[in-house]
Amino acid sequence: MVPGARQVFWSRCRRLTGALLLFWLVGNVLVVWFAHDLNRHELFGFPGGFWVAAQGALLVYLGLVVAYSAIVNRMERRFLGTLEPDDMASSSQFPR
């Protein structure tokens, strides 16, 4: 195995998870907090606050989950590409 490849993979994965969750949390809180003010603006024919809570946020959640799985699945394939045949055997046989 490339030295430290595991640590690199994990710290990248953790950073990505942290960043996406931070965006998710801050976005959620802001949208709810300012829903009343957002309603003064029109979005796609709806009062803005209503639209974000009834549709916009849901589509963003979907985007977040799809983006996460695409990025991490690609990272995982690359990581596995760096493994030697020996590691293949050992990494699948962790003690349980």
Please give the sequence-ordered ranges of beta strands (E in DSSP) within the chain, or none if there are none: 42-43, 46-47
The binder of another protein chosen from 2, 15, 22, 36 (CB under 8 A): 36
Single residue of 15, 22, 26, 33 touching another protein by CB under 8 A:
33
Build a one-symbol-per-residue string for 40-59: x at contacts with another protein by CB under 8 A, - elsewhere: ----xxxx-xxx-xxx-xxx
Least distance (Å) from another protein to the CB of residue 3?
14
Please classify residue 86 by burial: count the beta carbons closer than 10 Å to its beta carbon, then call 0-12 exposed, 13-18 middle and 19+ buried.
exposed
Residue 73: which residues within 8 A CB-CB, separation 6 or more?
none
Asked if 8 is part of the footprint of another protein (rule: CB under 8 A), the reply reads no
